[in-house]
Amino acid sequence: MFETKNYHKLAAATMAAASAVVAVTPVAAAADDTVFPDVEPDNDHYDSILKLKNDGIVIGDNGMFKPYEPITRGQVAAILMKALDLELKAPEVGANLTQYSDVSPLGSDYAYQIAAVTEAGIFHGDNGKFHTYTNITREQMATVLVKAFNLDKIDADEVPLTDKNISDSHRANVQVLANLNITNQTDDFQAYDNILRQQFATMVVKSMEASGVTVTEDIEVNSIGTSEAAALTENTDGGRDFEATIRGWNDALAPEGTDVYVTIPDDKLQGHVQLKNSDGQTVTAEDGEARFNGNPENIYALETDKDGTINFTLTGEMDAYAQPTIFIDNGDEKGELDAEDTQATGEMTSFSEAVFKNSTFKALDQNEEKVEDVQAGDEASFVYQLLDQNGKMSTSLEHTPTFEVKNLGLNPVEIEGQTLPQYGSETMQIDSENGKAIMNLTAQGPAHISVQASTPETSIPDKEAKLQFKAGAELKEGMYYTGTGNLNEDDREAKKLTLYINDHRHELPYDEADLYFKRKQVSIDTFEEESMHASTYVFYNSKSDENDQFNLTGNLHVANGMLGPREMPTPVPSDDLKINSLEAKIEQPPGMIGTYHNVSFRGTVAFEDIEEVKEATVTFSHKQSEETGDRETRTIYVNEYGMFAGSLSQYPFSGGSYIEDFQFYEQLTITYTNAKGEEKSVTKDYEF
């Protein structure tokens, strides 16, 4: 039976016979970058031949490869034995050759190789003969490769195989090669032709790739962060992260699931050091040890991800040090690091006192997942945690960060038992517990929270996080909502305004509501007149003893042709002057000459200016407007919630005639004077 010299975890099925465990010999560190004198670099099969040569799978004939000669069955046996690293005990050689009358254990060329591939079930001969020197045809080659690499066990979409000139006994295997893109000659496979040596080299390499047999040529290790890591203490887990990328020949990434091992030689280790996988779990070594002990067989198994990469963390006690070796167990000694294994080392890392230089600050939902928004009514939290010199979190170090909280939204927010009103701000100090400072909050209606966290007693940079409570399908009493819509003739007759609030459609009666425009209560006629075009509204869903309210944010109309309400996002308040949406749409309505361009915008003024600023200036211009002087400037209304909205339509025709070389505006500037008398301005460019 076979002896297993090496082991390699395959991404697909185990190769050949169940008794034959496959490995591939590692490439020597100084692999030759030339092939053979008779193989030119522009040969389509050059890379494949180079790979097989460097892997020791082909050695040529008197220094030549003879790429254009047909390959014989004996030569195929020799290549597959090396590619699959098949080994046979001496007594098994003769036993496997008894079925062939033309092969003798003594004196026959390729006798050992033929015995090996026969034992593996790859060849079985023809009427008691192996036909060592007979050329192999392309369809025979397909069957041999499918058997050798178990290619029929790999899932793949079936591709059309239209060539009718393939023997029934080989057709299914040719189909497998086509499905795996090992061959693309599906219309004319040339099944009965002899396959050339150079063609067979490429077929073998493609089969190795498809089956997951990877000859590891390179391990690239990234030692992340500083070499002076924090030690494992009661205040922090500390540690240092490492990343290793495994590549095969031709720079191909190792298949997902490839076994990679980590160890630390005795002379590169001091003190107690442990390994955590990418999930943060402590890994037990193959020998059952929970920490590194310096022995060759003290190895930790990890598997590559889809990017051919492993990630792990080393943690160590105070004053420990370690330098990891990452390797593929493809050398002579199974289950331990040896000189023949493909390997690379990470950077020497020492473990000492933690130095907290940074922090992490994020908003979490009630499932403790990082989020930017949650549903109104749900619970959420802001979590602040100190980070050591390698970005590892403090697990119990006591600290009390300061949270500067701003409610940028229309509705109150409940924070740690306190109510923060709309546009309110509060400074809060939150004591840490288990290394985390947590601020819990919730809001029953749409709200926007901005928090800046700081630790005044340290030099750690301040961190900012934001969270939006978004409206659901149900509108709750006593809450404010921002939506977009417009009134058509039918709406005015029914006295209902259709508002789109967070993509939910609501038909809301307004005949008995309080109606506002430009910070004043207006008549129903004025409200309807100003609502003819798509607009932004603040809607107050009243309690039982109150009236509903509609506050219209005035549109700036420059020409006509507004974007539809579904395409008008709700403005999100900001603590900086911000244009929240700048959308452009090119249209060519029926019966019109040329196109017209619509640009719509929404935004808010700065947080501290909401109560004071009532107007802003909007300017549409060309990017080179200083030269042309061509621009459109209008005054825009800012409502009591700091919101503004507007649109521009440009028509490249006049009097029914198209204007040649018409230049559309491609720049928008919003300007206003803040509560301190300072001019604030923001400019956005857009393109059609």
Q: Among the listed ranges 130-134, 460-464, 615-619, which one has the minimum average pLDDT value?
A: 615-619
Residue 585's pLDDT band (cuts 50, 70, 90):
low
Proportion of the chain above pLDDT 70, given as a percent? 85
Residue 125 shares a structural domain with residue 164: yes
Return the pLDDT at 31: 45
Residue 53 shares a structural domain with residue 161: yes
Within a domain: 21: no
Name the domain boundary from 164, 194, 211.
211
Residue 260 pLDDT greater than 60, yes or no: yes
Residue 15 pLDDT greater than 70, yes or no: no
pTM of the model: 0.64
Radius of gyration over every alpha carbon of the chain, rounded to an integer in angstroms: 37
Residue type, position 409, single letter? G
Name the domain boundary from 352, 367, 401.
352
Closest by CA to 423, choosing from 617, 642, 583, is: 642
Return the pLDDT at 678: 92
Return the pLDDT at 14: 29
Within a domain: 31: no
Return the pLDDT at 667: 84
Q: What is the pLDDT of residues 334-393, one digit of tens each?
A: 888 988 888 999 999 999 999 988 999 999 999 999 999 999 999 999 999 999 999 998
Residue 507 shares a structural domain with residue 402: no
As a whole number, the mean pLDDT across the chain is 84
Within a domain: 569: yes
Residue 497 shares a structural domain with residue 436: no
Q: What is the pLDDT of residues 568-579, one digit of tens each?
A: 344 555 566 666
Closest by CA to 224, choosing from 388, 56, 418, is: 388
Q: What's the CA gap between 223 and 349, in Å, rounded?
A: 9
Residue 673 shares a structural domain with residue 587: yes
Q: What are phi and psi of 159, to 5 degrees?
A: -110, 155
Mean pLDDT for the stretch of residues 208-237: 84
The pair of structure tokens assigned to 73 is 């069955």
Within a domain: 409: yes
Residue 532 near residue 520, CB atoms below 8 Å: no
Residue 362 near residue 370, CB atoms below 8 Å: yes
Residue 521 pLDDT greater than 80, yes or no: yes
Residue 531 shares a structural domain with residue 663: yes
Return the pLDDT at 588: 55
Residue 63: give the domain boundaries: 46-211
Q: How many domains does the chain have?
A: 4
- Residue 332, domain CATH: 2.60.40.10
**Is residue 544 packed enough to be buried (19+ CB in 10 Å), middle (13-18) or exposed (0-12)?**
exposed
Residue 488 shares a structural domain with residue 629: yes
Residue 586 shares a structural domain with residue 673: yes
Within a domain: 318: yes
Return the pLDDT at 586: 57
Mean pLDDT for the stretch of residues 37-42: 92
Residue 449 shares a structural domain with residue 503: no
Q: What's the CA gap between 72 and 58, in Å, rounded?
A: 14
Q: Among the listed ranges 231-235, 480-484, 523-527, which one has the minimum average pLDDT value?
A: 231-235
Return the pLDDT at 456: 75
Name the domain boundary from 152, 186, 211.
211
Return the pLDDT at 593: 52
Residue 491 shares a structural domain with residue 460: no
Residues contacting 43, CB < 8 A, separation 6+ = 49, 67, 198
Residue 498 shares a structural domain with residue 601: yes
Within a domain: 11: no
Residue 323 near residue 304, CB atoms below 8 Å: no
Q: Which residue has the higher pLDDT, 22 or 464?
A: 464
Within a domain: 40: no
Q: What is the pLDDT of residues 45-62, one digit of tens each?
A: 998 998 898 888 998 888
Q: What's the CA gap between 537 and 527, in Å, rounded?
A: 11
Residue 499 shares a structural domain with residue 435: no
CA dihedral 408, 414, 419, 422 (to 10 degrees): 20
Return the pLDDT at 496: 95
Query: Half-sphere exposure of 628 toward its Cβ, with a 13 Å CA cutoff?
Result: 12
Within a domain: 8: no
559 torsion bin: left (phi>0), alpha (psi -120 to 50), beta (else): left
Q: What is the pLDDT of residues 73-109, one digit of tens each?
A: 999 999 999 888 888 877 788 888 999 999 988 888 8
Which stretch, 267-281, 603-617, 665-679, has highest mean pLDDT?
267-281
* Helices 138-149 & 73-83 angle (0-180, nearest 10): 20
Alpha carbon separation from 12 to 20, 145, 204, 212, 216 (Å, rounded): 15, 14, 16, 6, 17
